[in-house]
């Protein structure tokens, strides 16, 4: 068994092609993320990505510091196979910073998979599916631009969208739902408020939106308002999903006890890694809750990590939203494109994550780097 000999961390800023508004904040011009590279004794390299969003999980600066300063001493010099011990030590080394821990587990799995000649999904339970239905988010404050995107999605075979609501008023949300339902009857439409509703309006707005029968309504109110989430769930027949309310297994148990939702959006960036995300999915299935493969504003490395996790997690049945590499970034950072065919994400069968990052692109978009 080989040891980890080197660790590099980059903070990247990647240009995006549109503005995206959510109930908790907007993204425009660039997204910030952190890439981790681990090297083994034979020179094999494994990669991970921390996709941070300051208003949701935390900042890229925090992810960078978590990896470079606090987690690095628990990684360099350790055996690659001691993944559970390394992840436990990283968990205690720095509080929160779940995106950094997701990047670490991704890089450890990528490295181990490349050395063993096995895809990451083979290291975390084995594969239950070859493709994952893709959902793309509709979140541009200029709805005409989103209608152009809708035509592109239709031509590409994508048939799931998630309408981001709660950032520009209820009338704007209802207008867009009417247009989308009328003009795209063959699409599976979901709704995500990202906590955007005020508690005084929440019930009326959710009831209106529910009349359009979306597949689910996600996180209408603030993450900590568990009682209100439970009331909204009881007030409508449309399934309510929790996202910001549930990060990892600890929140999940609280959410189950409080009966706040019918389903959960599972993200490796919230749970702090692939195996903890699988734990959340199994807790959900154990009480009859559905599970969806959510993501942050990610590039291809994180998309691949999420794809392998969902490929090995039969409990996640509502598809995924790994659309950013193809539909939002001006340029992704992988050597070859993240694979989407006929509206489905394709699960790689090649070793590790399946695709390497393009180091020239990483250097090009890097604003900070740390090496040892």
Q: How far is the CB of 166 from Mg ion (least distance, A)?
A: 11
Chain centre distance of CA 120:
17
Rounded to whole angstroms, how far apart are CA atoms 126 and 203?
A: 42
Q: Confirm or reject binding of residue 21 to Mg ion (CB under 5 A).
A: no
Kindly tell me which of 246 and 334 has the beta carbon lying closer to Mg ion.
246
CA distances from 77 to 39, 82, 91, 130, 372 (A): 10, 11, 18, 35, 11
Q: Confirm or reject binding of residue 37 to Mg ion (CB under 5 A).
A: no
Contact partners, residue 276, CB within 8 Å, separation at least 6: 248, 249, 268
Q: How far is the CB of 26 from Mg ion (least distance, A)?
A: 15
Kindly tell me which of 68 and 173 has the beta carbon lying closer to Mg ion.
173
Single out the segment in contact with Mg ion by CB under 5 A; choices: 35-43, 142-150, 189-197, 202-210. Answer: 189-197
In the list 243, 315, 321, 332, the residue contacting Mg ion (rule: CB under 5 A) is 243
Rounded to whole angstroms, how far apart are CA atoms 219 and 224?
A: 11
Cβ-closest residue to Mg ion?
243
What would the two tokens of residue 358 be? 């393009």
> Residue 287, exposed/middle/buried by CB under 10 A (0-12, 13-18, 19+)?
exposed
Q: Confirm or reject binding of residue 192 to Mg ion (CB under 5 A).
A: yes
Kindly tell me which of 105 and 218 has the beta carbon lying closer to Mg ion.
218
Single out the segment in contact with Mg ion by CB under 5 A; choices: 72-80, 114-122, 239-247, 281-289. Answer: 239-247
Kindly tell me which of 297 and 365 has the beta carbon lying closer to Mg ion.
297
> Residue 82, exposed/middle/buried by CB under 10 A (0-12, 13-18, 19+)?
middle
Kindly list the residues in this chain that would bind Mg ion in the complex (CB under 5 A): 192, 218, 243
């Amino acid at each position: 068994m080989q040891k980890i000999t080197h660790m590099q961390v980059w903070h990247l800023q990647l240009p995006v092609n549109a503005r995206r508004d959510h109930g908790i904040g907007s993204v425009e011009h660039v997204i910030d993320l952190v890439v981790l590279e681990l090297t083994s004794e034979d020179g094999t390299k494994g990669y991970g990505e921390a996709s941070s969003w300051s208003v949701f999980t935390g900042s890229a600066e925090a992810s960078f510091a978590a990896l470079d300063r606090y987690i690095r001493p628990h990684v360099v010099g350790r055996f690659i196979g001691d993944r559970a011990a390394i992840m436990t030590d990283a968990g205690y080394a720095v509080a929160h910073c779940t995106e950094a821990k997701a990047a670490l587990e991704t890089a450890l799995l990528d490295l181990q998979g490349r050395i063993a000649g096995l895809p990451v999904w083979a290291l975390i339970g084995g594969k239950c599916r070859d493709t994952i239905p893709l959902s793309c988010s509709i979140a541009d404050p200029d709805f005409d631009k989103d209608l152009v995107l809708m035509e592109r999605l239709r031509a590409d075979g994508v048939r799931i969208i998630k309408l981001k609501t709660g950032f520009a008023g209820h009338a704007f949300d209802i207008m867009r739902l009417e247009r989308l339902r009328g003009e795209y009857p063959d699409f599976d439409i979901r709704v995500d408020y990202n906590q955007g509703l005020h508690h005084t309006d929440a019930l009326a707005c959710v009831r209106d939106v529910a009349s359009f029968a979306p597949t689910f309504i996600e996180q209408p109110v603030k993450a900590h308002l568990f009682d209100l989430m439970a009331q909204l769930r009881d007030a409508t027949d449309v399934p309510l999903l929790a996202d910001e309310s549930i990060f990892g297994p600890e929140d999940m148990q609280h959410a189950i006890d409080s009966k706040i939702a019918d389903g959960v959006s599972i993200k490796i960036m919230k749970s702090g890694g692939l195996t903890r995300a699988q734990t959340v999915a199994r807790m959900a299935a154990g009480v009859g809750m559905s599970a969806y493969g959510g993501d942050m504003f990610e590039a291809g490395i994180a998309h691949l990590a999420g794809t392998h996790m969902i490929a090995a997690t039969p409990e996640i049945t509502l598809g995924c939203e790994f659309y950013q590499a193809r539909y939002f970034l001006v340029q992704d950072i992988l050597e070859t494109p993240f694979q989407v065919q006929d509206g489905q994400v394709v699960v790689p069968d090649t070793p590790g994550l399946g695709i390497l990052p393009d180091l020239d692109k990483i250097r090009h978009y890097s604003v900070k780097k740390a090496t040892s």
